[in-house]
Amino acid sequence: MRKVVRTGAVIIAGLVTAAALTGCGGDGRKSDPDGSPDAAKSSRAPGGDGGGPEADAAALEGGWAGKTDGKAVVLSVASGKAVLVTEQRACTGTVKDMGKVMLALKCADDDTDRTMGSIVSNDGRTVVVSWDGGTKDTLAKTEPGAIPSGLPDLPTP
């Protein structure tokens, strides 16, 4: 019973942190003077042509969710900060440019399975993160401000 409550608390804390990081609303893009966001979108294309690692890091911004080994995984990235929440733990850290885009995280319980991850691919809809601990997460982009589906139910006392 205690483990269920603790797991629920970790999930809730992670979702609140992820929502705060992503701003729970707009995507933060500015539109051009005529009101269309197309100019902003073209400058932030995922894996842009010649955009370098900074363009790839910018393309990682936002919310991502999926399942690995049947367990929910949520990643939120905003302004170079990252939050990763799984059913067991919450980790926070930064997006780093180490010749390729990397996630450098520290988990609240000192677990090291997902502390250093490299972005294997990101097409703007799906991101694949390969972690030094051996895990590989495939996550889908979520709508801004939306809570991802497929998360476990909150425990009841």
Tell me if 119 sits within 8 A of 102, measured CB to CB. yes
Report the predicted TM-score, pTM, of the whole model to 2 decimal places: 0.65
CB contact at 8 A, 64 and 75: yes
Integer Cα distance of 28 and 58 in angstroms:
12
Average pLDDT rounded to a whole number, residues 38-43: 35
Does residue 148 sit in helix, strand or coil? coil
Written as six digits, the tokens of 73 are 């995984």
Question: Predicted confidence band at 28 (pLDDT cuts at 50, 70, 90)?
Answer: very low
The pLDDT score that the predictor gives to residue 81 is 97
Q: pLDDT tens-digit profile of 91-147?
A: 999 999 888 999 999 999 999 999 999 999 999 999 999 999 999 999 999 987 666
What pLDDT score does 91 carry? 97
What pLDDT, on the 0 to 100 scale, is given for residue 153? 61
* DSSP secondary structure letters along 115-147: SEEEEEEE-SSEEEEEETTS-EEEEEE--TTPP
Q: What is the DSSP letter of 71?
A: E
94 alpha-carbon distance from chain centroid = 11
Residues 103-133 as b/e (b if ≥16 CB within 10 A, e otherwise) read bebebeeeeeebbbbebeebeeeebbbebee
Least confidently predicted of 14-23, 34-43, 68-77, 118-127: 34-43
Whether the predicted pLDDT of 88 surpasses 90: no
Nearest to 75 by CA among 55, 103, 44: 103
DSSP helix/strand/coil, 15: helix
